[in-house]
Structure 1
Amino acid sequence: MGDGWEPVDAEDPEFAALLVDSHLRVVGRPLVPGPPPGPELARWLYRETPVALLAHRPGADPRFCYANRAAQRHFGYDWAEFVGLPSRLSAADVDRAERARLLSDVARDGFSDDYRGLRVAKSGSQFWIENATVWNLVDAEGRLHGQAAAIRSVSPA
């Protein structure tokens, strides 16, 4: 596992494949319906899918290594602000213990499905993430690369 942190390129095809393949392997169903095959996958996941996708690397204080445009819109950060941000800052202080329990459960169980939790945008406004799946990013050889979240809907708090 390791504590080394590294960002990914927003449209890295290898990382896009890790998101899609690990979700199928760990959760048991496709991440998103009908993604384009091959080289268009990374671009589509980053720019076009309505599903907000986030990922952080493993570590004592994980930092985001990926946030697609849908996630950027919900949280109010652009790529440069999001990538490298400690992922704990996606929740307000009072909600961080609940978020930490979720991530601990995911580390133990592989994933959590149909999650709902309160999150905070850059502006300080709060919103609910709903119908979210959080899973371990595990490659075909079983190596852990972090955790990811697919947020399918949000609503005002």
Structure 2
Amino acid sequence: MDSETQLPWQQETVICHSQRLMQSFQYWTGFSLLDASGSPEEIAQGLFDAPFVLASHGTEPDPILNYGNRRALQLWELSWEEFTQTPSRQTAQEVVQEERNRLLSDTATKGFSNFSGVRITSTGKRFEIQDGILWNVIGEDNQLFGQAAVCSKCKFLT
């Protein structure tokens, strides 16, 4: 089965990244994103179908989104292919970029941060994230793979 016909969570790179997301979140916060029992494939499916929004970006100079679970894709109104080609800065309006950049920098230093803020969908709808957590995604040797964010509370603004 090729990546064209696979669901995102079935791709080997996404399965590996899902492990990093889980392990990094546990490392920084002491909590688990979800019940982590099962095979790496089952965990990847669990994260993708989780009842919260989960997204991450890489380490490029202008970071590109590299993961979004089903709720994130629905929230930002993008397909997997569109989402994973989007610079993460485009998830926030220009007027909040300075605040967003400060949050990313603070998290890079501390490992994780709690946050709330207004973001924007691909079609221009504004929504507020409440009680989000942003953390550094690291590998087994503490190599930085980017940053990820999770939130359970989002509401659209009028």
TM over 0.5: yes
C-alpha distance in 1, partners of 2:91/2:122? 8
Query: How many residues in Structure 1 have an aligned counterpart in Structure 2?
Result: 146
Structure 1 equivalent of residue 46 of structure 2: 44
Which amino acid is 2:66 matched to? C
1:128 partnered with 2:124: no
C-alpha distance in 2, partners of 1:70/1:111? 22
Q: Indicate the SS of the match to 1:146.
A: strand
- Percent sequence identity over matched residues? 32
> Any gaps of 5 or more consecutive residues in structure 2?
1-6
> Any gaps of 5 or more consecutive residues in structure 1?
1-8
- TM-score under structure 2 length normalisation: 0.87
Cα displacement (A) at 1:140:
2.1
C-alpha distance in 1, partners of 2:96/2:154? 16
C-alpha distance in 2, partners of 1:127/1:71? 12
Q: Indicate the SS of the match to 2:150.
A: strand
Matches within 5 A, 1:1-157: 10-11=8-9, 12-32=14-34, 34-38=35-39, 39-46=41-48, 48-113=49-114, 115-157=115-157
**Greater relative contact order structure (CA < 8 Å, 6+ sep):** 1
CA RMSD in angstroms, aligned pairs only: 1.3
Cα contact 1:36–1:44 (8 A) shared by 2? no
* Structure that is richer in helix per residue: 2
Cα displacement (A) at 1:44:
1.8
Query: What per-residue deviation string (whole Å, max 9, x for no partner) do you get for residues 98-143 of structure 1?
Result: 1111000000110002x11100011101000112110000122111
Runs ≥4 in structure 1, deviation > 2 angstroms?
none
- TM-score under structure 1 length normalisation: 0.88
